[in-house]
Amino acid sequence: MSEQKECHPALAILEDLVRIQSVNPHYGSDACGEGKVAEYIERRFQGTKVKVSRQPVFPGRDNLVLELRTGHGDATLLFETHMDTVSIGSMENALTPIYRDGRMYARGACDAKGSLAGMIWALEECAKHPEQLHADVVLCAAVDEEHEYRGLRAFMAAGMPIAGAVVGEPTELSIVVAHKGCARFAVMTHGKAAHSSMPEEGDSAIFQMVQVLQFMRDVVEPELRTRSHPLCGSPTIVAGTIHGGTQINIVPEQCEIEVDRRIIPGELPETAIAEFERQLREYIEREGLQVQVSVRELLLDWALETPKDAEVVSFARHAARTLGLSDELVGVTYGSDASKLQRQGIPTIVYGPGSIAQAHSKEEWVSANEVGLAAQFYYHLARSFGSPEDGGAS
């Protein structure tokens, strides 16, 4: 039986949001995409002082851009988070908000509709008295973060001037100024097919791949552990998938792994891939291995490292202290839209309710209390951003 929920108004918004299925279409034919969430947000801001516009990204999948213009265009604060979720999977009652032990359980409650609900509430509150703000405030509710972040790419391509940004993701109400990025790539080994009754006539690409995996375990992993970032730790490497062969009675002529190499601030994803390939080929030659390989890039994503003296960081710390929350600056091991904004020269932090440990899980949940506190944080940050009185406190 569900318990009585916490009373912050952002929770009612979150309840509405999680009832709307917005699974990214990449995750199956029954995925609905973000359209209904965009419609819901549009309805909430009808008749307000907030300008609402759609930015087409895919057919039927638009970013929703909300602008509260107060005459301070030189100090625009961006709130950005995503409307899509991963698949429902095996989560029961995934579209029904259920409260238990101070938590709301639902798909997307943690990642990242809790952040989106808080940002919506904060913008609505700011719109009641825009004359009290020292900055313009923009909210971008983006599509496609859970696949290839095409929504954010489209928003950035429009070139809107932004002085500072907050990306909503589960950070347990910590101010994140650094996180890892990733270089994803495929490694293929090339052998020779033969009948399995005469394996000596072939060359197994699967056996070759064993050598590549051994190289990752014995050479790459120990070397990566020698590198470290003070907030993000060491880089990591994982072979996430493996595919090889066509049928049981044929010596496989191809085998492929997909690799996720997490980079730390100071590393570049394209350089990480080039380094891996160079070291692998040197290892093959040095060990005298009969291994034929090729490497194919899949995805590049950059790490985040926002200067600790950036204006948005100072105002975020002030807002946290105002609410009695921690103003410590931290790093995390996952990636977000923040690094893309930072790469465009926009100082960016990540902040939101919930823990990444609950995101995408079978029992996804978010603390009801944290949702309310995150909403208050967004509101206080928007109210103070650009103010000469509040910006210098660190």
Are 265 and 229 spatial neighbours (Cβ–Cβ below 8 Å)?
yes
CATH number at residue 292: 3.30.70.360
pLDDT of residue 84: 97
Same domain, 35 and 58: yes
Same structural domain for residues 284 and 339?
A: no
Please report whether residue 390 resides in a domain: no
Provide the pairing of β-strand 175-179 with 304-305: antiparallel
Give the span between the Cα atoms of 380 and 206, in whole angstroms.
57
Final residue in a domain of this structure, among 300, 328, 346:
300
Q: Give yes or no: residues 185 and 269 share one domain.
A: yes
To the nearest 10°, the Cα dihedral for 234, 235, 241, 245?
-120
> For 173-199, b where at least 16 C-beta lie within 10 A, e where not — what string?
bbbbbbbbbbbbbebbbebebbeeeee
| Bridge partner list, 66 | 52, 139
Query: What does the pLDDT look like over 384-393, one tens digit per residue?
Result: 999 987 655 4
Q: Contact 167/82 with Cβ under 8 angstroms? A: no
In a domain, 270, yes or no: yes
Would you list the DSSP string of 147-209?
Answer: TT-HHHHHHHHTT---SEEEE----TT-EEEEE-EEEEEEEEEE-B-EETT-GGGSB-HHHHH
Pairwise CA distance, residues 149 & 182, whole Å: 14
Domain that holds residue 251: 181-300
Same-domain status, 283 and 313: no
Among residues 300, 320, 345, the one where a domain terminates is 300
How many Å apart are CA 262 and CA 180, to the nearest integer?
Answer: 6
Q: Are 37 and 147 contacting, i.e. CB atoms less than 8 angstroms apart?
A: no
Count structural domains, the chain: 2
Pair (151, 46) in one structural domain: yes
DSSP 312-355: HHHHHHHHHHHTT----EEEESS--THHHHHHTT--EEE--SS-
- Does residue 120 sit in the same domain as residue 221? no
What CATH number should be reported for the domain holding residue 166? Answer: 3.40.630.10
Cα(6)–Cα(102) distance, rounded to whole angstroms?
8
Report the mean per-residue pLDDT for the chain: 95
Summarised one tens digit per residue, pLDDT across range 17-44 is: 999 999 999 998 899 999 999 999 999 9
Please name the amino acid found at residue 100. R
Q: What is the pTM of this model?
A: 0.92
Last residue of a domain, one of 265, 300, 335: 300
Q: Are residues 50 and 72 both part of a single domain?
A: yes
In a shared domain, residues 154 and 185: no
Looking at the fold, whether 26 and 126 belong to one and the same domain comes out as yes
Whether 118 contacts 353, CB under 8 Å: yes
250 and 158 belong to one structural domain: no
Going residue by residue through the chain (394 aa), what tens digit of pLDDT does each one get? 344 344 899 999 999 999 999 999 999 889 999 999 999 999 999 999 999 999 999 999 999 999 999 999 899 999 999 999 999 999 999 999 999 999 999 999 999 999 999 999 999 999 999 999 999 999 999 999 999 899 999 999 999 999 999 999 999 999 999 999 999 999 999 999 999 999 999 999 999 999 999 999 999 999 999 999 999 999 999 999 999 999 999 999 999 999 999 999 999 999 999 999 999 999 999 999 999 999 999 999 999 999 999 999 999 999 999 999 999 999 999 999 999 999 999 999 999 999 999 999 999 999 999 999 999 999 999 999 999 876 554 4
H-run or E-run covering 366:
strand 365-367
